[in-house]
């Protein structure tokens, strides 16, 4: 992160607000589509249509020579992302927008745990405490034993694990290819992995449904682009708290557009998870800017 980027926190927050609007747009559009198209087919069509948006990168992809290690990583990431996307599309038709959004906040926590278990990163006491608070927030959202858990909740748990695995694999791909090639290859691999599941339960989509799914692809692509710009403008600890507004917008949209009651427990649990994630991001920023002194 350049020094100049450190002095643009307002732009980082604004880009993260745009990110939140786009991702809520993804959720609302999928919710509007409902269960008319099977989840695997919806996910497959979303990625197929999204490939159109990546056409400018195809010339670079053709020129790129990928190593065997890169092909292995792309394949593993595609499989993890495909399973997660199918679970996410299923959850969107079963539980509220606010619950999906709040449970999405657990993704960075699973990434942190995965980095400790599989990448050998240290787990300091403060980070461990933050993870503990995040799981308390997750329990408040789910409230097991106090209300029946829907299949959508279980699907979101699997989706979070899948997205986290894909992210951890992506961290290993940093030096394998350019960002544009990485995104394009991920989209291609996810499309390939989703295709047998989609074809197994294929329902011919209506043109209007294809239009909505293309809108999903546009929202998702714009959201990831805006998030990248936010991370370039300032450290993640600066922009991360702004993502909590996504839960507020999702709750309001769910209530106004889909008649979903606003659940105060979900908002409270999401706030606790978001606070824990923000603390971990802040600690990472502090450690990078002030590395520990090694005495000899």
Can you give the pLDDT at residue 34? 84
Q: Tell me: pLDDT of 27 over 80.
A: yes
The Cα 177–Cα 239 span in angstroms is 26
Task: Give the orientation angle of helix 244-258 with respect to helix 9-33, to 10 degrees.
Answer: 30
Location of structure tokens 């980095």: 115
The Cα 43–Cα 190 span in angstroms is 9
The Cα 252–Cα 274 span in angstroms is 18
State mean pLDDT over 165-186.
76
Can you give the pLDDT at residue 135? 86
What does the pLDDT look like over 275-285, one tens digit per residue? 888 887 777 66
CB 47 within 8 A of CB 193: no
- 287 pLDDT band, cuts 50/70/90, is low
Share of the chain above pLDDT 90, in %: 23
Can you give the pLDDT at residue 76? 93
The Cα 102–Cα 138 span in angstroms is 8
- 294 pLDDT band, cuts 50/70/90, is very low
Can you give the pLDDT at residue 154? 92
Q: Say what the pTM is.
A: 0.79
Lowest-pLDDT choice from 9-18, 91-100, 175-184:
175-184
Q: Tell me: pLDDT of 4 over 60.
A: no
Q: Is 259 left (phi over 0), alpha (psi -120 to 50) or beta?
A: left
Can you give the pLDDT at residue 205? 93
Can you give the pLDDT at residue 87? 94
- 53 pLDDT band, cuts 50/70/90, is confident
Can you give the pLDDT at residue 79? 95
Q: Tell me: pLDDT of 184 over 60.
A: yes
Q: Tell me: pLDDT of 240 over 70.
A: no
Among 93-102, 157-166, 204-213, which range has the highest average pLDDT?
204-213
């Amino acid at each position: 992160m350049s020094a100049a980027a450190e002095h643009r926190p307002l732009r980082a927050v604004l880009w993260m607000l745009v990110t939140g609007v786009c991702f809520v747009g993804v959720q609302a559009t999928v919710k509007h589509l409902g269960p008319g198209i099977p989840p695997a087919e919806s996910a497959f069509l979303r990625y197929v249509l999204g490939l159109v948006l990546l056409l400018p990168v195809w010339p670079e992809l053709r020129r790129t020579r990928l190593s065997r290690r890169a092909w292995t990583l792309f394949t593993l990431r595609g499989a993890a992302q495909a399973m997660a996307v199918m679970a996410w599309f299923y959850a969107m038709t079963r539980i509220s927008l606010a619950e999906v959004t709040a449970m999405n906040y657990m993704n960075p926590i699973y990434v942190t745990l995965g980095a400790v278990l599989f990448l050998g990163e240290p787990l300091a006491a403060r980070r461990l405490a933050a993870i503990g608070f995040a799981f308390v927030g997750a329990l408040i959202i789910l409230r097991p034993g106090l209300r029946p858990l829907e299949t959508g909740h279980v699907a979101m748990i699997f989706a979070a694990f899948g997205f986290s695995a894909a992210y951890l694999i992506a961290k290993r791909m940093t030096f394998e290819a350019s960002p544009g090639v990485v995104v394009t290859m991920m989209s291609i691999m996810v499309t390939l992995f989703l295709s047998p599941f989609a074809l197994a339960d294929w329902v011919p989509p209506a043109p209007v449904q294809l239009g909505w799914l293309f809108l999903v692809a546009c929202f998702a692509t714009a959201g990831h682009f805006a998030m990248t710009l936010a991370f370039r403008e300032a450290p993640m600890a600066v922009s991360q708290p702004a993502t909590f507004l996504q839960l507020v917008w999702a709750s309001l949209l769910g209530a106004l557009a889909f008649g979903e009651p606003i659940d105060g427990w979900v908002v409270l649990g999401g706030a606790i998870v978001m606070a824990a994630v923000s603390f971990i991001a802040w600690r990472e920023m502090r450690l990078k800017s002030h590395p520990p002194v090694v005495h000899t």
